[in-house]
Amino acid sequence: MSCAEPPAADHAARRVIPIQASAAPAGSSLYVAEQKIYPRSVSGRFANWRWALVALTQLFFYGMPWLQWEDRQALLFDLVGGRFYIGGLVFYPQDLIYLATLLVFSALLLFFFTAVAGRLWCGYACPQTVYTELFLWIERHTEGDRQARMRLDTSPWSPEKLARKSAKHAGWVLLALFTGFSFVGYFSPIRELAQATLQLALSPWELFWVLFYAGATYGNAGWLREQMCKYICPYARFQSALIDADSLIITYDARRGEPRGARSRKSAEVLAQGRGDCVDCTLCVQVCPTGIDIRKGLQNECIGCAACIDVCDQVMDKVGAPHGLIRYATENGVSQGLSRAQMWRRTLRPRVLIYGGALAVLGALMVWQLSQRSALLIDVIKDRGVMARLVDDGQIENVYRLQLLNRSERTLHLRLDAAGLPGLRLLGGERVEVAPAAIVSLPVQLRLPPGVANGSGARRVQLLAHDLDRPEATAFQAEASFFVPR
């Protein structure tokens, strides 16, 4: 989707001309080899924001596994034990609803920001963008900026070239290994993992995942780079369904910039020459990490990093023209000449309000779910071999198996009880101890005196677990069915 009609020359260049299969010379290919992209370094306000997000995300990623919560790791996904520790909360596979809610919330958040301002996630916080920036930083400090890297790649092999290439790949490998180690540290206690690494005593699975994730980081950020964004990541394919003419995107103001060409710094001479503000320096293409020309309009490959805005503003300063030839704007804003305030007011449109409302409701629901989350989960399993039976003195007995899951990090001392029918008694749970983050399974019997139940069938009853250490607290509760035989 383009924010402005490109020049006639661009239309001509973009026409599709049918090619007969027989016209291709023998041995030629119908596919053009992918050209390597050498992004030029750029500075500016958006570059500063991007590096701030790189620092913030990596401070979290590398630092979070080292934070402690009491006597354990603050954030740990213990797949072997089936426990997930997030701060003071302990989650189990039975808490899958929280993960599902979080995934839906994240998807809605992505849709919301895309509808408002395009691919902000891709340009500033996506792991592919973040690690590509880090790998490029290493590349620039070992091989130089764009022109130096291009000369180095085309020059014959020499001791200097070998040294620079070796230093670059050594830096890449070290960063990738540290990234893989940190990733595994979310699933295996990182302090123990560090000690095992120093002693060369990693388990086979730990070693495999460290190397696997390191290899993925090295390959994606070092070699694939823009290929991930252009061909592999599906987000670019469906972003057009999420944005519209009032979404903030990176745009080139063709009415102001065309016709392109070298221009004088004097406004009178510029008017006499009939030139636009674009001097056709191609710096916007050189700094683009995916190698596109934003002057041709918004393209799937654009990740919204705004590097072209930073470098274009610098060029405008040099030629004495105002900023904003390339800027964040909406398609309607550019075509209709809307002010920034008018464009922002038009962001409050139905799809944005729907996404925002859904986010607010789902976020409130998540907070409510967590606030109502019980420290003890009681799972009642009815003994299907014996639905109900008569025992001593004509009492009716039902047999159950209880699974008590301690979601807290303190030992629970419990007394089990039953309610729901007059005279209902529970046998087998006078005192139960459940260790922190542990599961206890035990059989219990419910007995009902004769003559209490009128008629046969199922009755709803409650199984209660009283916290003996906190007698004032409300008892934990679970529903069950009590069957009365005919």
What tokens were used for 112?
């919301």
Give the model's pLDDT for residue 265: 66
Rounded mean pLDDT, 304-316: 96
What tokens were used for 457?
């069938």
d(CA 342, CA 213): 46
Angle between helix 45-63 and helix 159-184 axes, rounded to 10 deg: 50
pLDDT in tens, 139-156: 999 999 999 999 999 999
- 418, 448 in Cβ contact below 8 A? no
CA 259 to chain centre: 41
pLDDT > 70? residue 25: no
- 328, 249 in Cβ contact below 8 A? yes
From 134, 163, 155, 135, select the one nearest 51 (Cα to Cα).
134
* pTM: predicted TM-score of the whole model, two decimal places: 0.84
pLDDT > 80? residue 377: yes
Mean pLDDT of the chain: 89
pLDDT in tens, 93-111: 888 889 899 999 999 999 9
What tokens were used for 50?
């991007």
Which comes out higher in pLDDT, residue 428 or 434?
A: 434
Query: What 3-state DSSP class applies to 235?
Result: helix
As a residue count, the chain comes to: 486
